[in-house]
Structure 1
Amino acid sequence: MNGGNSRPVSPGGGVSPSSVRLSENASEISGLSAVNGADERRVTGHQAPPAGMQASARDMYSIHGEQAARRRAIAELIFFAGVNDLRRCRQIAVTWNIKVKEPAVMDYDRRTPLHVSAAEGAYSVVEWLVHEGADVNSLDRHGRTPLEEAARNDHGEVVRLLIQNGGNVFEDGKLVPLDQSKLRGIVNTRRMMMSELGWEPEWEVNPRELQLVERIGSGEFGDVYKAKWHGSYVAAKLLKRSDEIAIGDFRTEIAILRKIHHPNCTQFLGACTKQKPYIVITELMACSLADAFQRTFYTPSVRRQVEIALDFARGMAYLHSRRQPIVHRDLKPANLMIAGNLHADTEQLYLDSGVIKVADFGLSKSLVPVERHGGLVGAQDINVTYKLTGETGSYRYMAPECFRHEPYNLKVDVYSFAMIIFQLFEATQPFAGHDPVEAARNAAMLSARPGFPPRNKLSKTELEMRRLIEDCWAADAEKRPTFEEIIQRLEAQLATLPKHQHFEKDAACTGCNLQ
């Protein structure tokens, strides 16, 4: 980062698009873009001040522009605090010389970065803000403190951290301790204190109880093993780089995962967090959609394709509709599991009987891999990074706004859904034949999208699916449908299809060179 540059920079050293807009807005407001003495009225929309006042007016406009840019920077700081992006929060604070303890660092509702990060369970950011002197008892427009936000959202680790640093809740016109307030039943403070003395949460598993049977997969977060636990076969993911995982974030997200119960989401069973490597234990799945794409040379019937898309959409609708929505941010075929008889072959599960379940959700804060912070970086840097890690799979399915390092919302998952469903229905990877990072860059910077393969004849359902895919990968995230709307469209198509359709052998392989 260049400390003398007034623009926030992206992790790779380039200027981020959001900061470009900041600087463009600032120069537009300041009215300093008149060239060769041209009339400033063309720029500002106001009559140019008299000659003797031009310098002071110019200073005023310049200050106005800087203030507007600073307000935008504070808004972005608050956003990234909520998604636990500590690195970017620090970057914005340093670049714009923002002191988080200043009263002006808040939004319209007087919510500070600490309010937002506490409400979202963003442990690392909360810890940093407290260390930087943020007021742990600041009140928003509704009279809530950061501690109340954490308590109402059941973020026990964050609650404990705030209490340890003097956090209280505001009640009857004064600040009172949480365990003496009307909120004391929301978070079991007694259980938290017992945890500090060695009491373990119900999801904590003794690693000695796990018997690793065989390694069944490997990904950017770690190696996955088939394991035996109290007589049942489970999936045990041994996390890589455990030394880099913030245990507070990890435990906060585990506490959320244990509450997820849906037939189209993998079931969390427990975790080992007392010693390294950390382990996440889930139900054992037969295979992933990526496995099916690679190993199957048959195309599912159109009805089966719609059923798979529906399973996928229902799992995501559940995650997005929770009181605390979960944004996956890393959807790809390898993170869609196929449940069914563990002794059945992949082809049978894919073409007929398997149930799709969304996996690897909910750990997006503590387990964001170092290499995925890339985004807008130099091509040489990003290529070196991925030659070392071999992890390029996510880029092909990544929403443009994520690649551009812009603030994002739930609709990033809708874009990834479109890319995966394109692969399912068209029997070819999105941007097939292109480097994954280059494909993502073209999608983000040039609005490129995969081309639909030519076909002699398309059914009404196949035409509708193409329209749905195009809607879901819209460049404007707000124009993408919600998963509930996607479900309605898929169910309408399913109702028109015969209940028994046969799969076909296809020369195309959706998994060739799968990344």
Structure 2
Amino acid sequence: MSEAEGGSEEASRTAAESQERPPAAAAEKQKEKARVSRTSMILWHAHQNDVAAVRKLLEEDRSLVHARDYDNRTPLHVASLHGLIDVAKCLLDYGADVNAQDRWKNTPLADAEGAKKHSMIELLKSYGGLSFGQNGSHFEPKPVPPPLPNKCDWEIDPAELDFSSSSIIGKGSFGEIIKASWRGTPVAIKRILPSLSDDRLVIQDFRHEVNLLVKLRHPNIVQFLGAVTEKKPLMFITEYLRGGDLHQHLKDKGSLSPSIAVNFALDIARGMAYLHNEPNVIIHRDLKPRNILLVNSSADHLKVGDFGLSKLIKVQNSHDVYKMTGETGSYRYMAPEVFKHRKYDKKVDVFSFGMILYEMLEGDPPLASYEPYEAAKLVADGQRPSFRSKGFIPELRELTDECWAPDMNRRPTFLEILKRLEKIKDSLQNDHHWNIFNT
């Protein structure tokens, strides 16, 4: 056999072997092509609401539940946007990430909210779905992280807290408020119940409140002193105010004189005007007498507290409104737009302030003869508490009526409220001096 014939035979054999065993690069390319094809298929079948095809693909390759398209969207994003419940349940059963974020940082729940797919919203929430993204969900802006000082400035060693003569001064669903001592100073400590120390949502709410409190500095806001975040139980520590809360004060004293009511209202409005300062607005969302504290037994100074339900938002436009959680806060002081699950803004706090002003002047909670939920329902239907006390003056009644106006755009801002209250205070003082002169 000639050299040429031998070379030809060798080449033929090499080519045959090459066909039997493709090079690694070729095999990898084939594998990648198949993967892209399967990714396209599961996204397509999810979009077509073909549950059987989606399940078959996942049975063959479970990792496809995490498939992504060019916009980084998962099959669960597709199902959520179109409200395809059965496909979504299948994907979740196979371990889909309920909080996966796409190219715009939106979660499946953000897409479902944007498309108003209410059944899908409930399903995703039941699996721990959160609504956030680059700009929040389609309805709700992403909370603005407050500028935090170094953690070492406010992290407290629990060994510094003295509970030897402590007393419980308040209780809630997730924890208790304790009067104790820190470095020899009386303090109020909000302590998460040990049974909930590992609850993800409770921890999330705790850290949210700490992050808000760290940022706040104002004479009419309860002062944050520090927190225990690295050891259990989780705790945050604020100043202790000896006067108790406004709810108990009104229960003990009854209706307040117009002059005292105005002074109280001024303190509340100063604290709220600070919280509502743009562009980083903090909406309290649970303004009520129990969350307004008296500095001392003389009741000469008030502070706004309890920011567990507060929402920090970035205001792009002074007329922006947001779709935040409906029925958030306490029913008796709740604005109608919150009760009805409609879009709302910082004016919900103004509504609550109007209810508190009424209670200070009347001595009884608004619509006291009704249960809280029934009271909120009546208010949402347009009813308002009636003035009975002879102590109120027309200017205060007019201000109260404006604060609880059904149209939130007609309610004054807290800066406007402060100006009105200052004028009322001056007129009350002038009237008082004039009466003395005449006697």
Return the offset for 1:325: 0.9
Return the offset for 1:231: 1.1
Contact 2:110/2:136 (8 A) holds in 1: no
Residue 440 of structure 1 is aligned with which of 376, 389, 398?
A: 376
Q: Does 1:453 align with 2:406?
A: no
Count of residue correspondences: 300
Partner of 1:227: 180
Partner of 1:359: 305
Return the offset for 1:429: 1.4
Deviations 1:163-199 (A, max 9, x none): xxxxxxxxxxxxxxxxxxxxxxxxx9xx7xxxxxxxx
Partner of 2:189: 236
Partner of 2:97: none
Deviations 1:220-256 (A, max 9, x none): 5532111100111110011354424354564354233
Compared CA separation, residues 225 and 252, structure 1 to 2 (3 A): closer
Partner of 1:390: none
Q: SS of the counterpart of 2:344?
A: coil
Contact 2:294/2:301 (8 A) holds in 1: yes
Residue 498 of structure 1 is aligned with which of 398, 418, 429?
A: 429
Deviations 1:300-342 (A, max 9, x none): 33211110010110110000015311100001100000003xx
Task: State the Cα RMSD in Å.
Answer: 3.7
Inter-partner Cα distance in structure 1 for 2:430 and 2:233: 47
398-407 or 484-493: which moved more?
A: 398-407
Q: Does 1:211 align with 2:147?
A: no
TM (normalized to structure 2)? 0.60
Paired AA for residue 285 in structure 1: L
Q: Does 1:327 align with 2:263?
A: no
Compared CA separation, residues 87 and 486, structure 1 to 2 (3 A): farther
Inter-partner Cα distance in structure 2 for 1:214 and 1:339: 18
Paired AA for residue 153 in structure 2: E
Contact 1:288/1:338 (8 A) holds in 2: yes
Q: Does 1:423 align with 2:353?
A: no
Inter-partner Cα distance in structure 1 for 2:365 and 2:262: 18
Deviations 1:102-149 (A, max 9, x none): xxxxxxxxxx96232399664xxxxxxxxxxxxxxxxxxxxxxxxxxx
Compared CA separation, residues 420 and 244, structure 1 to 2 (3 A): farther
Q: SS of the counterpart of 1:497?
A: helix
Compared CA separation, residues 484 and 222, structure 1 to 2 (3 A): same
Residue 289 of structure 1 is aligned with which of 246, 261, 285?
A: 246
Quick one: higher RCO (CA 8 Å, sep 6+), 1 or 2?
Answer: 1
Inter-partner Cα distance in structure 2 for 1:421 and 1:154: 30
Inter-partner Cα distance in structure 1 for 2:281 and 2:215: 12
Aligned sequence identity (%): 40
Q: SS of the counterpart of 1:329?
A: coil
Residue 415 of structure 2 is aligned with which of 484, 491, 495?
A: 484
Inter-partner Cα distance in structure 1 for 2:142 and 2:225: 21
Q: Does 1:115 align with 2:134?
A: yes
Q: Unaligned 5+ residue runs, structure 2?
A: 1-80, 82-106, 121-130, 313-323, 433-439
Inter-partner Cα distance in structure 2 for 1:417 and 1:236: 26
Partner of 1:395: 331
Q: Which has the larger radius of gyration?
A: 2
Return the offset for 1:373: 6.8
Partner of 2:54: none
Inter-partner Cα distance in structure 1 for 2:430 and 2:219: 22
Compared CA separation, residues 207 and 412, structure 1 to 2 (3 A): same
Residue 221 of structure 2 is aligned with which of 254, 262, 265?
A: 265
Return the offset for 1:401: 1.0
Q: Unaligned 5+ residue runs, structure 1?
A: 1-66, 68-85, 100-111, 123-149, 157-187, 192-199, 367-371, 377-392, 502-515
Q: Counterparts of 1:81-100 in structure 2 under 5 Å?
A: 89=110, 92=113, 96=117
Return the offset for 1:468: 0.5
Return the offset for 1:89: 4.2
Compared CA separation, residues 259 and 231, structure 1 to 2 (3 A): same
Inter-partner Cα distance in structure 2 for 1:250 and 1:218: 15
Partner of 1:15: none
Paired AA for residue 451 in structure 1: S
Inter-partner Cα distance in structure 1 for 2:225 and 2:108: 31
Residue 266 of structure 2 is aligned with which of 310, 324, 332?
A: 310
TM (normalized to structure 1)? 0.52
Paired AA for residue 452 in structure 1: F
Inter-partner Cα distance in structure 2 for 1:420 and 1:359: 15
Inter-partner Cα distance in structure 2 for 1:494 and 1:430: 24
